[in-house]
């Protein structure tokens, strides 16, 4: 019975977080704008008729433009929604003092935090499914074939968002405002997509006699070792250049899922530690 109650508490908090999250005007604005961009991508290619050959794979320029626009829209608006909701759920309840009411009941801190994080993930998944679902319909109508590649891309995109969400959520647990966690989330996402360049900077500047260059190399190496490599989750190149009904090529899906899960778990453990240290 106690195990059931231990689950009901976080689930109730997750449902409350879900209901409050989908009412946020900023989040709805991002979602509606992304849907308009994805839907409008079909109209942007009205005058394109010639064919394009990419790496031996024949595809129309029209379809390629649609895919490029839709992938970009899902990446940009998806991560903005992820960062916004992950950065705001805990600080908002601290600001309106709802958190004190919840924690005064028989709800432990780890249950509260798990419920909030679960609610955030439900919102992220729902928004991602809406955007990917519309993209799926657009490709289905355009190509008249099952866009298998899109399904794999959506799965990896979620784990990319999960990593960003976990660390943004962790930082929000030590903040009374959503501004710092939002900035941190953007830094994690941008830095995670630039890890290849960070490695290159560290390699080029390593061994230099100039103190500034050595400092830059050390900083780049540190960021490369700490930040998650989000580029590995990106199937944009394959989505654009390969048939949409083909599976990913050379994509280690199980390893990437494990990699993303471990980073997300690390972020969540950090959130627990920071939240338990906070005076409430």
Residue 175's φ and ψ, nearest 5 degrees, are -120, 150
R_g of the chain computed on alpha carbons? 21
**pLDDT score of 7 more than 90:** no
The DSSP code sequence of 101-151 is: HHHTSS--HHHHHHHHHHHHHHHHHHHHHHHHHHHHHHHHHHH-S--HHHH
pLDDT, residue 25, reads 77
Give the helix/strand (H/E) hosting 89: helix 61-95
Selection from 41-55, 85-99, 208-222 with the highest mean pLDDT: 85-99
Q: What is the mean pLDDT of residues 32-51?
A: 68
Task: Give the per-residue pLDDT at 29.
Answer: 82
Q: How many CB atoms lie within 10 A of CB 185?
A: 25
Rounded percentage of the chain residues whose pLDDT exceeds 90: 35
pLDDT at 66 over 80: yes
CB 173 within 8 A of CB 87: no
Task: Outline where 173-252 has alpha helix (H).
Answer: 179-192, 195-205, 211-226, 236-241
Q: Is 59 helix (H, G, I), strand (E, B) or coil?
A: strand
Confidence of residue 100 (pLDDT cuts 50, 70, 90): confident
**Least confident residue range of 46-60, 64-78, 135-149, 203-217:** 46-60
49 has a pLDDT exceeding 70: no
Residue 154 pLDDT greater than 90, yes or no:
yes
Mean pLDDT estimate for the chain: 83
- Choice among 47-56, 113-122, 252-261 with the minimum mean pLDDT: 47-56
- Return the pLDDT at 47: 53
Whether the pLDDT of residue 9 is over 80: the answer is: no
Confidence bin at 104 (pLDDT 50/70/90): confident
């Amino acid at each position: 019975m106690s195990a059931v109650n231990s689950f009901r508490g976080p689930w109730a908090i997750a449902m409350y977080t879900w209901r409050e999250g989908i009412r946020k005007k900023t989040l709805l604005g991002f979602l509606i704008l992304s849907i308009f961009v994805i839907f409008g991508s079909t109209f942007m290619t009205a005058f394109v008729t010639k064919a394009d050959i990419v790496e031996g794979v024949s595809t129309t320029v029209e379809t390629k433009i649609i895919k490029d626009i839709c992938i970009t829209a899902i990446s940009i608006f998806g991560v903005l929604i992820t960062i916004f909701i992950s950065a705001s759920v805990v600080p908002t309840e601290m600001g309106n003092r709802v958190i004190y009411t919840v924690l005064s009941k028989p709800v432990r801190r780890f249950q509260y935090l798990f419920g909030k994080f679960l609610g955030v993930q439900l919102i992220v998944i729902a928004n991602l499914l809406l955007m990917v679902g519309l993209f799926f319909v657009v490709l289905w109508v355009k190509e008249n074939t099952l866009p298998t590649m899109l399904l794999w891309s959506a799965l990896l995109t979620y784990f990319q968002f999960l990593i960003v969400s976990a660390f943004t959520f962790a930082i929000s647990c030590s903040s009374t405002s959503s501004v710092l966690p939002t900035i941190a989330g953007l830094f994690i996402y941008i830095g995670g997509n630039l890890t290849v360049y960070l490695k290159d900077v560290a390699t080029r500047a390593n061994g230099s006699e100039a103190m500034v260059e050595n400092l830059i190399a050390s900083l780049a190496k540190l960021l490369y070792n700490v930040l998650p490599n989000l580029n590995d989750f990106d199937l944009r190149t394959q989505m654009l250049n390969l048939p949409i009904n083909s599976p990913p090529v050379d994509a280690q899906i199980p390893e990437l899922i494990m990699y993303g899960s471990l980073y997300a778990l690390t972020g969540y453990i950090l959130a627990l530690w920071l939240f338990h240290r906070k005076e409430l």
